[in-house]
Structure 1
Amino acid sequence: MASVNINHTKDLFLLCMSVMYLCAFSSLFVQIPGLYGDKGILPAKLVVKSEANSWDELLEGQPTLLKLTPKLGLTAEQGMDLLCATGLALSFLCVICKAMRDTVSFILLWMLYFSLYQVGQTFLWFQWDILLLEAGFLTILVAPFNVQMPIRRFRVAQYHQHDTITLWLVRWLLFRLMFSSGIVKLTSRCPTWWKLTALNWHFESQCIPTPLAWYYHHLPDWFLQLSVVATYVIEIAVPFLFFIPVRSLRLFSFWAQVMLQLLIILTGNYNFFNLLTLTLCVSLLDDKFLGYKIKAPRGSVLNYIAAVAVYCFLGYQTVNLFGITVKDDFTIQAKINFSEKEFDQFVAKVTPWTIWFGAFSFAFEVLLALVRSFSEVKETFWKNWAAVQVVVFTFLGASVFAISLVPYSGLHKDVQKVVPVQARGLYHRVSDYHLTSSYGLFRRMTGVGGRPEVVIEGSNSPDSGWREYEFYYKPGALNRRPPVVAPHQPRLDWQMWFAALGSYQHNQWFLNFAYRLLHNEPTVLELIQYNPFPSKPPKYIRALLYKYHFTETGKKSSMGWWTRELTGEYMPAVAKDDSSLVNYLKHTGIVEEKSGKKSKKSKSMSFIAQAIVWLRGMVGQPEGFVFVMTMLLSTLTFKLVTRIIVG
């Protein structure tokens, strides 16, 4: 059976998704005891309270495989360890072995991560976790169903005519991600985005900056403003080129997205998110780009004319809409030349057209797949079989496209009128499974005037002797260099950043964290770098709120990377026997009520439970970045050695 010129592109996408799962599972595995253990910050046992004895019980409420782990004699924490370790092992196999990258494997990977997400609470409710679930679901459709039957005639092929349809769905996800991220920056009415000054604050105020962020922060203002303009162009205008049937324009859109993602990776630690976005960008490529020799028609004169016309149009509109002018000193000045009302009208008018544009592009892809089924496939039986597969995946793809319109329509109220009622009904039936979601990154710029940072201190006296706890990754000590931690996701450090934007009353986990520090809980202390009370826990814990700033140019060597100023108290000093704290934690279940009855003897652990305990004892809780990179490098080494030996 002949195949289209995306066979190796499809393989690359599946390989990259396997790597993304490997990063996600390995990063989470080392943090489970401190975050979700029985004495962790948010114990999983408080979420998984029931055991599923039927299919209905498994799916009701929060569907998760953790409802089945008690049948294996596992606690909630051990169940999370089992699911995460299984996902880690399976993703490892998918990376090193092409035959493993099939529908069944990716169904299991999606189910495992979804089950963990369901009980992950605030530490797992990030946009990249939701994006991984949606991309993971689409990967199930992209992956081949590797069933080899004994009769040669009925062997299932690795590549199909409908592959272009499933990869189109990945491209549509990439479009929604980028286009929405660009639109919300302006619809939020954040002054920094409208004045093109967002990057004057971004590098300093983002969650975990890299060392290069300090240098980018001190770039000239005109260059940072021009970079904001480039961001708008890449996120709002360029995504339309994803669906243009002109190869050079599609590759231009690919390189534009790659450039943006690489710059974000260099200046900020956004775990596996940017790598996942680059994985979605693979859907813009073909086998020729990857270096494979294929028979492809040369670009026509019309294609070249179309490409030049698009480049000229983008350049003209960019200069016109953003008032770009070159000054006498060769600096570039820019300002937005449209109003909020005009932009709102633009969104109201253009966004519905993106839906129709997407629908037309999808229909065009289906038509091409049907034509290929009858023109490129030789035998009559396989012609009909390829056409049947195209029809089936057209139905699945159309359903996925329809439900994606519901969250996408949140960009503007007028867009919601375009979405069919049937699509809304289908979306609400499957919404609990996060098959699709809305996106909008960096909606508003935080940390304008200095990044807020919570510093936790402990003492044995409420009046003096306060000493700071030091985290692994978030800013703390002024002379400590910002770390490089991606693709690891340090979830406690990230939540500390979000906590600084609000109050401890709105972050339930923060009081739980303070209580664990008051008891020197080992699993929680493994999540931070320095405990100033290693032998005996402090009697009091408090939190102060500071504003951090990057040091000025020329002062880093003498003053360090940061300066800070105290802005106030974030959480007053609390003691572990504070009645209000203890009563609150009893109410939430963190502190268990003491019973007068004698506890029953614990049952002997099952074989699986013993294996999980042994595995956790062997791995422990190593520093997350080191563990994730060890897993990635070990996988790469194993794959290279195997390839050398085999071939």
Structure 2
Amino acid sequence: MQRIFQVDDDYRLISRLFIKLLALIYLAAFYSLSGQIVGLVGSNGILPFQEQLRNSFAAQGYAAWWQIPNIFWLSSHDWALQAASWAGSLCALLLLAGIRPRAMLVLLFVLYLSLTQAGQFFLNFQWDYLLLEAGFLSIFLVDRPTRLIIFLFHWLLFRLRLLSGLSKILSGDPSWGSLTTLEYYFETQPLPHIGAWYAHQLPEGLLMAATALVLFSELLLPLFIFLPRPFRIFAALSTTLVQIGIIATSNHNFINLLTILLCLFLLDDRFVRRLLPAKWHKASPPLPQHSGHSRFAPVISGLAAGFILLVSLSLGYQMISGRSLPEPLASIAFTGHQFGLGNVYHVFPTMQRERHELRIEGSQDGIEWHAYRFRYKPGPLDRQPAFIIPHQPRLDWMVWFVPTQAPEMLYWFDRLMLRLGKNTPEVTGLLAHNPFSDRPPRYLRVLVYRYRFTSSQERRESGNWWRADYLGQFPNTPPRRP
């Protein structure tokens, strides 16, 4: 048992490199939120976080502090939300510079956890939880890359990849079994960029082979993580290749970069030493054997490991079996999820066959209508799909889910329409163009279009990246399925 708490000298250089690169991902995540958080969940935002905190406290009292863990219980004013995103950016820069790395990692975890809770629907994504768990584990990585912590990083990457693959099989979506997924994916994903248009033009046989590669990388490659060194290196390089392919064809913020970063732990110092400058080769000195940190670190890391394993195994069982967890296991799993630990992952388990785009329009007289324009989601047919990694425009992304007409999507979308009707500057500032900057519109409507990529010939002839077919006025149109 004592052996699992020993420092693994094969991962000292890997650990230092991982923390430096994690700082860059944290920086991208916080900076991306800094220009959005007030418009999304500020006091005049789409879903004011103040309302949720107030309602939760009225219903649960101080127990709500544990149910919704975040620092904004102290203050949830707009300045606090904005300060948290800027503080996170600053802490990420200090971590990158090597200044008080453990303290910075603790602060980064607390700040991002708080913003994730504040973000509600807008930050309830798997990459947000992946960053939280990777960031939490990194707190224990500083100076002491023990065998237990390295295993937990392996376990995190294993869950991310394998559960993503299993979810595709369990979903019953026929496109995965027939290897036709990529015939739809590039034009139906939330925010395609220009690479997606070119990928969509590839021959059917190549797209089917790429689909098979995705399934191989998610269902078989994860098993290599716990095999001897040559298998782990193969898994790391293969997974990285797949992630680079996704980056080249998809705007998925920082999740693919973070997945590549987690693959570092499938390598070792001997492998990466050949790729890094000589100044990086010197390992950090070991901690004194009788320091306070060395006495308590095994206990704390052991408890954290036990909690993560319990939550992740429980939630994984629930996902695979489809059965509810018994109490008190369900409460423990819920707590883990609320703190971003032990999450299950199911990236694109089902594939959309059609892209439904919403066009929000306003009018002063009900006759002449003017369209609001989003920053990045498809709109004008001739606008080139933008490459925006690692940024995630949360509003643009969330609008992609609204055509399903799920109740929770309609709820926040109605709040968006209410803010647009009042011309709320915090919300209209999230858009690329507000046609009613002088005074609010008297009427609003939402039109639904089916968007498809143009062919190479259509692109040459029209100059458009998209073609659109009018489907009707929302929500009086059939919901998009899935």
Q: Confirm whether residue 477 of structure 1 aligns to residue 380 of structure 2.
A: yes
Counterpart for residue 29 of structure 2? 24
Deviations 1:252-296 (A, max 9, x none): 1001110111111111111111112112112112112222599xx
Alignment of 1:223-302 (within 5 A): 223-245=206-228, 247-291=229-273
Kindly indicate whether the alpha-carbon contact (under 8 Å) linking 2:7 and 2:146 is maintained by their aligned counterparts in 1: no
- Residue 440 of structure 1 aligns to which amino acid in structure 2? H
For the residue of structure 2 that corresponds to 1:19, the secondary structure is helix
- Residue 172 of structure 2 aligns to which amino acid in structure 1? R
Counterpart for residue 83 of structure 1? 84
2: distance between equivalents of 1:422 and 1:505?
A: 27
1: distance between equivalents of 2:78 and 2:343?
A: 28
Instruction: Choose which of 45, 48, 51 in structure 1 pairs with 2:53.
Output: 48
Q: Which runs of 5+ in 1 are unaligned?
A: 70-74, 145-157, 295-376, 573-647
Percent of residue pairs identical: 34
For the residue of structure 2 that corresponds to 1:488, the secondary structure is coil
Counterpart for residue 487 of structure 1? 390
Deviations 1:124-161 (A, max 9, x none): 1111112222222222222x2xxxxxxxxxxxxx3x4x
1: distance between equivalents of 2:327 and 2:408?
A: 40
2: distance between equivalents of 1:253 and 1:408?
A: 22
1: distance between equivalents of 2:147 and 2:327?
A: 28
Counterpart for residue 516 of structure 1? 419
Counterpart for residue 531 of structure 1? 434
- Residue 272 of structure 1 aligns to which amino acid in structure 2? F
For the residue of structure 2 that corresponds to 1:555, the secondary structure is helix
Once the 2 structures are TM-superposed, how far is the Cα of residue 56 of structure 1 from its aligned partner? 5.0
- Residue 436 of structure 1 aligns to which amino acid in structure 2? G
Kindly indicate whether the alpha-carbon contact (under 8 Å) linking 2:233 and 2:267 is maintained by their aligned counterparts in 1: yes
Instruction: Choose which of 74, 98, 101 in structure 2 pairs with 1:68.
Output: 74
Q: Confirm whether residue 410 of structure 1 aligns to residue 409 of structure 2.
A: no
- Residue 82 of structure 1 aligns to which amino acid in structure 2? A
The farther-off stretch of 194-203 and 33-42 is: 33-42
Deviations 1:567-620 (A, max 9, x none): 111148xxxxxxxxxxxxxxxxxxxxxxxxxxxxxxxxxxxxxxxxxxxxxxxx
Counterpart for residue 558 of structure 1? 461
Q: Which runs of 5+ in 2 are unaligned?
A: 1-5, 277-285, 477-482
Q: Confirm whether residue 545 of structure 1 aligns to residue 448 of structure 2.
A: yes
Cα distance 1:169–1:528, how it changes in 2: closer, same or farther (>3 A)? same
2: distance between equivalents of 1:496 and 1:100?
A: 40
Kindly indicate whether the alpha-carbon contact (under 8 Å) linking 1:504 and 1:570 is maintained by their aligned counterparts in 2: no
Q: Confirm whether residue 194 of structure 1 aligns to residue 199 of structure 2.
A: no
2: distance between equivalents of 1:100 and 1:106?
A: 9
Cα distance 1:79–1:50, how it changes in 2: closer, same or farther (>3 A)? farther
Q: Confirm whether residue 213 of structure 1 aligns to residue 196 of structure 2.
A: yes
Counterpart for residue 355 of structure 1? none
Cα distance 1:163–1:570, how it changes in 2: closer, same or farther (>3 A)? same
- Residue 85 of structure 2 aligns to which amino acid in structure 1? C
- Residue 524 of structure 1 aligns to which amino acid in structure 2? V
- Residue 49 of structure 2 aligns to which amino acid in structure 1? A
For the residue of structure 1 that corresponds to 2:400, the secondary structure is helix
Kindly indicate whether the alpha-carbon contact (under 8 Å) linking 1:29 and 1:85 is maintained by their aligned counterparts in 2: yes
Once the 2 structures are TM-superposed, how far is the Cα of residue 23 of structure 1 from its aligned partner? 1.1
- Residue 82 of structure 2 aligns to which amino acid in structure 1? D
Cα distance 1:39–1:4, how it changes in 2: closer, same or farther (>3 A)? same
Once the 2 structures are TM-superposed, how far is the Cα of residue 388 of structure 1 from its aligned partner? 8.3
Counterpart for residue 160 of structure 2? 177
For the residue of structure 1 that corresponds to 2:54, the secondary structure is coil
- Residue 474 of structure 2 aligns to which amino acid in structure 1? Y
Kindly indicate whether the alpha-carbon contact (under 8 Å) linking 2:315 and 2:344 is maintained by their aligned counterparts in 1: yes
1: distance between equivalents of 2:235 and 2:152?
A: 17
2: distance between equivalents of 1:35 and 1:230?
A: 37
Kindly indicate whether the alpha-carbon contact (under 8 Å) linking 2:37 and 2:119 is maintained by their aligned counterparts in 1: no
Aligned-pair Cα RMSD in Å = 3.1
Once the 2 structures are TM-superposed, how far is the Cα of residue 523 of structure 1 from its aligned partner? 1.9
Counterpart for residue 400 of structure 2? 497
Once the 2 structures are TM-superposed, how far is the Cα of residue 184 of structure 1 from its aligned partner? 1.1
2: distance between equivalents of 1:432 and 1:14?
A: 24
Deviations 1:392-411 (A, max 9, x none): 64454344223220111134
Cα distance 1:421–1:539, how it changes in 2: closer, same or farther (>3 A)? closer
For the residue of structure 2 that corresponds to 1:122, the secondary structure is helix
Kindly indicate whether the alpha-carbon contact (under 8 Å) linking 1:62 and 1:118 is maintained by their aligned counterparts in 2: yes
Counterpart for residue 100 of structure 1? 100
- Residue 23 of structure 1 aligns to which amino acid in structure 2? A
Once the 2 structures are TM-superposed, how far is the Cα of residue 84 of structure 1 from its aligned partner? 1.7
Counterpart for residue 279 of structure 2? none
- Residue 101 of structure 2 aligns to which amino acid in structure 1? R
Kindly indicate whether the alpha-carbon contact (under 8 Å) linking 1:51 and 1:67 is maintained by their aligned counterparts in 2: no
Counterpart for residue 135 of structure 2? 136
For the residue of structure 1 that corresponds to 2:473, the secondary structure is strand
Cα distance 1:99–1:5, how it changes in 2: closer, same or farther (>3 A)? farther
Cα distance 1:12–1:420, how it changes in 2: closer, same or farther (>3 A)? farther
2: distance between equivalents of 1:195 and 1:429?
A: 38
Give the TM-score of the pair, scaled to structure 1. 0.66
1: distance between equivalents of 2:300 and 2:362?
A: 62
Kindly indicate whether the alpha-carbon contact (under 8 Å) linking 1:66 and 1:115 is maintained by their aligned counterparts in 2: yes
Cα distance 1:58–1:457, how it changes in 2: closer, same or farther (>3 A)? closer
Counterpart for residue 454 of structure 1? 358
Once the 2 structures are TM-superposed, how far is the Cα of residue 166 of structure 1 from its aligned partner? 0.4
Kindly indicate whether the alpha-carbon contact (under 8 Å) linking 1:127 and 1:439 is maintained by their aligned counterparts in 2: yes
Once the 2 structures are TM-superposed, how far is the Cα of residue 424 of structure 1 from its aligned partner? 6.2
Kindly indicate whether the alpha-carbon contact (under 8 Å) linking 1:545 and 1:567 is maintained by their aligned counterparts in 2: yes
Larger radius of gyration: 1
- Residue 131 of structure 1 aligns to which amino acid in structure 2? L
